[in-house]
Amino acid sequence: MKKSIMITSFILLVMAGLSVSVIPPVAEAAPILINYQGVLGDNAGMPVPDGNFAMTFRIYDDAASVDPLHLLYEETQTVAVTGGVYNVLLGSGTPTVGTFDASLFSGDNRWLEVEVNTERLTPRQQIVSVAYALQAQKSATAIQATTVVNNAITTSMINDNAVTGTKILNNTITSDKIVDGSGSNLNADLLDGMDSSAFMAAGTDLWVNTTGDTMTGSLNLPANGLAVGGTQFLVGSSGVGIGTATPTHALHVVNDVDQVMRLEGPGVNGSEARLIFGDPDFVYLYEDFDDTLEIFADGRTAITGGFVGIGTLNPTERLTVSGDARISGVLHPDGGISTSSGISIQSLGGNVVITAGSSVVTVSPTGGVTISSSQVDVTATGDINLTGNNVKVTSTGGVIDLNGTTF
């Protein structure tokens, strides 16, 4: 009579990882295995004889279907049976279908089928968690869980350089997911607001936003200055350069247009600007009114070198005036006054007085001319004409000499 084999079995999950839980970080990862124990008996319920049996273990996602699409894993082992009892570690055999790892148990239901000496034992056994495996779902050491409870992962559980940018999804870490920690100098509440000041220690490089920020303190420029648009601005030991990186003076401005510098004041059209030299209000250039320039020096104003032109861009003498000149006061020429087209001396109300040494010539507004001198010489290469209703020549010495003739 052929003996049939019946099986009674139970499953013990000894590996928390199969119930979607964690293996703590250790030097070597523990293997993922299931300790499975069963009993083989004949039709009479007696244990089978001791010996080695060829056994196949299969894991399905269905309780009865034999469709290969429902077969997830299969392995073979040679199992020792004593007194009908056997014990195996599922996952330690020779796999023929699938891989025995945590992903094998990621679904809702799994069933184990056992085949002994080509005989499939029925029904399949459902794989369920034991109490400690259920607790593993809430393990504080979970690293493969679909969700992680608050404060579950601490710094000591993460190896240095283990978390890189490529392993973090965009926009997944926000300030509310970072635990505040004393001494970290990290203000998690401002992460979303991009407040950089919270992450910079004293003495490190700081930066200013292009708009909206106000900088305080010193601004240290690089050695080659600061480029503003296409213009170079340099502050160096030799001076300040605008438009040049090699200033030769305290202020050196280089530009490719004729309007290099502009001063604007508070007045009309930017008038009333003042350029001051030295002490205020002693020497300055000042646009007193719109289009009116005042040159003021409390001491002396000297123009040295070259020619000066007033009303002309081409002066030919130390002072060349194109147009009328008005003098309020006395003109003291050290040399003569010459002209190529006549000279006109006008008085706007008083006498015109010309003084040369002890001689004085006075021209009154009424037309009288008085020459006061110890001697008056009138010399001409041509005629000398004295015209009038009455021409009087008076000598206080009593003698008048006209070309050798005395009167």
pLDDT tens sequence across 172-226:
777 676 666 544 555 544 554 555 555 555 555 566 677 777 777 777 767 666 7
**Residue ranges of the alpha helices (H) in 242-381?**
none
* 228 CB neighbour count, 10 Å cutoff: 9
Q: How large is the average pLDDT for residues 384-391?
A: 73
Q: Which residue has the higher pLDDT, 333 or 87?
A: 87
Cis peptide before 123 (omega within 30 of 0): yes
End-to-end Cα spacing for the chain:
196
Residues 131 and 187 in one domain: no
Question: Which residue from 338, 337, 340, 368 is spatially nearest to 352, judged by alpha carbons?
Answer: 368
112, 127 contact by CB (below 8 A):
yes
- pLDDT average, residue stretch 119-124: 91
Are 75 and 99 contacting, i.e. CB atoms less than 8 angstroms apart? no
pLDDT-derived band at 99 (thresholds 50, 70, 90) equals very high
pLDDT confidence of residue 15: 36
DSSP 261: -
Evaluate whether 248 touches 236 at the Cβ level (below 8 Å).
no
* CB-CB contact of 282 with 291 (8 Å): no
Of 274, 297, 320, which one is at a domain's C-terminal end? Answer: 297
Quick one: 54 and 118 in the same domain? yes
- My answer on whether 78 and 18 are in the same domain is yes
Cβ neighbours of 79 (radius 10 Å): 20
State the DSSP code for 238. T
Is residue 167 in some structural domain? Answer: yes
What pLDDT shows up at residue 12? 40
Give the least confident one: 20-34, 208-222, 236-250, 328-342.
20-34
Q: Which band of pLDDT confidence, cut at 50, 70 and 90, is reported for residue 67?
A: very high
pLDDT attached to residue 135:
52
Residue 64: name the closest of 98, 97, 112, 103 by CA: 112
Q: What is the pLDDT of residue 87?
A: 94
Does residue 2 surpass a pLDDT of 60?
no
Total tally of structural domains belonging to the chain: 3
Span of 62-66, 121-125, 214-218, 275-279 with lowest mean pLDDT: 214-218
Residue 261 lies in a domain: yes
pLDDT for position 133: 59
Distance separating alpha carbons of residues 62 and 59, to the nearest angstrom: 9
Is 259 among the domain residues? Answer: yes
Average pLDDT, rounded, for the chain:
75
- Domain assignment present for residue 207? The answer is no
Q: Are 251 and 260 in contact (CB under 8 A)?
A: no
- Cα 329 from Cα 180, distance rounded (Å): 87
Q: Tell whether 98 and 10 lie within a shared domain.
A: yes
114 in Cβ contact with 56 (< 8 Å): yes
Q: What percent of the chain stands above pLDDT 70? A: 66
Q: Which two tokens mark 335?
A: 């040399």
Global pTM value: 0.37
Based on the fold, state whether residues 110 and 170 are members of the same structural domain: no
In sequence order, the β-bridge partners of residue 51 are: 81
In a domain, 323, yes or no: no
Which pLDDT score, from 0 to 100, does residue 193 have?
53
The amino acid occupying position 254 is: V
Structure tokens at 123: 């029904």
Q: Say which residue, 174 or 114, is predicted with more confidence.
A: 114
Distance CA 250, CA 219 (A): 19
Does 115 lie in the same domain as 63? yes
Q: Which of 253, 282, 297 is the last residue of a domain?
A: 297
Given pLDDT bands bounded at 50, 70 and 90, which one contains residue 10? very low
- pLDDT at position 11 is 40
User: What does the pLDDT average to over 97-102?
Assistant: 92
Which helix (H) or strand (E) element contains residue 12?
strand 6-12
* pLDDT classification of 155: cutoffs 50, 70, 90: confident
Considering 90, 117, 136, which residue would you say is the last residue of a domain?
A: 136
303 domain residue, yes or no: no
Residue 174 tokens, joined: 């926000």
pLDDT of residue 130: 63
What is the average pLDDT across 229-233? 66
Q: Is residue 88 part of a domain?
A: yes
Do residue 20 and residue 103 come from a single domain? yes
**Which residue range forms the structural domain that includes residue 188?**
163-199
| Region of poorest pLDDT, from 16-20, 147-151, 281-285 | 16-20
Position 91 scores a pLDDT of 93
* CATH code, domain with 93: 2.60.40
The reply to whether 241 and 177 lie within a common domain is no
Tell me, yes or no, whether 230 and 282 share the same domain.
yes
Please give the pLDDT value at position 25: 42
Residue 397, in any domain of the structure: no
Distance CA 82, CA 397 (A): 177
Residues 117 and 10 reside in one and the same domain: yes
At residue 373 the predicted structure's pLDDT band, cuts being 50, 70 and 90, is low
pLDDT, mean of residues 143-168: 74
Q: Are residues 131 and 28 in the same domain?
A: yes
Residues 245 and 168 in one domain: no
Contacts of 368 (CB under 8 A, 6+ apart): 362
